Amino acid sequence: MREKWKTAAAVLFWLAVWQLAAMAIRQQLFLPTPASVLAALAELVPTADFWRRVGFSLARIAGGFFLAAAAAAVLAALAAALDTVEVLLRPLILVVKTTPVASFIILALVWLPSRNLSVFISFLMVLPVVYTATLAGIRHTDPQLLEMARVFRLPPARRVRAIYLPETMPYFVSACSTALGLAWKSGVAAEVIGLPDGSIGEALYQAKVFLTMPELFAWTVVIILASMLFERAVLRLLRWAAARIAGTKEAV
């Protein structure tokens, strides 16, 4: 609780800094005040268009994230089991990891309709992060437990549920926590470049074009909040799953 108050105080501090800076600059075009951003937000939130945009972007970014997390888990399991898969994936993951997101967005615009661009881009940003961490998790599985499983001839399903999953879940959850933020950042970046109709990215771009800075800031606040809430919901779900796996009655 104490920590929450400290965080709230820090947020208030930076809001005050923002307010003072805006008052010093006195140009809404460069830096709108927190109050004007709040007013823009209050205007946006009750409209149907706002919720449609949030729904549009959320569905696609979440879709990209979940697809990538699932693919990363499967690929990591395959790579841990088969050396050839790991070797084959190595350059691919390295390329995805190091290529600037803007390059992928522009390339993907050639291949895909802009409506689904953010699904693909979020997928690409999340995949290497979750894959690398999950593979590391599998490889750090306690060798003593694996020997025990081998000597007792545990069936593969029991090995996975009782040994691999509990040992790998912390790595997977931690990687997902990092990747959730990445999914939002890259997904919205893709929308700003691809400008799919009815997306948050498009609204952000329009606010910039028409120089409606309070609106631009308001949409940015929306992205931050949506990203935070989504991250919390997903992490809660994953932690619940991890706790169930760690001590589940069905583990056997």
Partner 1 sequence: MSITVTGLCKAFDAKPVLHGFGFSLADGETVALMGPSGCGKTTFLRILMGLETPDAGTIEGLRGLRIAPVFQQDRLCPGLSALQNVLLVAAHPAQTAAQAEGLLRELGLDEDDIRRPAAVLSGGQRRRAALARAVLADGDLVLLDEAFKGLDEATAAQAIDFVRRRTQGKMVLAVTHSAAEAAALGARVVRMPARPD
- Binding residues for partner 1, rule: CB under 8 A, are 144-145, 147-148, 150-154, 158, 162-163, 166, 245-247, 249, 251-252
* Residue type at position 48: A
Cβ 153 to partner 1 shortest distance, Å: 7
Shortest distance (Å) from residue 173 CB to partner 1: 14
CB of 221 to partner 1, least distance (A): 40
Rounded Cα distance between 188 and 56, Å, is 11
Which lies closer to partner 1 via its Cβ, residue 6 or residue 158?
158
Q: Judged by CB, which is closer to partner 1: 41, or 165?
A: 165
Min dist CB 156 to partner 1, Å, is 13
Q: Which is nearer to partner 1, 98 or 144 (CB)?
A: 144
> In this structure, are residues 69 and 126 in contact, taking their beta carbons and an 8 Å threshold?
yes
Nearer to partner 1, 67 or 251 (CB): 251
Q: Which is nearer to partner 1, 90 or 158 (CB)?
A: 158
Handedness of CA 76, 78, 83, 85 (dihedral sign): negative
Q: How far apart are CA 73 and CA 62, in angstroms?
A: 16
CB of 148 to partner 1, least distance (A): 4
Instruction: Give the angle 87-147-69 at the CA atoms, nearest 5°.
Output: 45
Q: Tell the burial category of 185 from Cβ atoms under 10 Å away from its Cβ (0-12, 13-18, 19+).
A: middle
Helix (H, G, I), strand (E, B) or coil at 54: helix
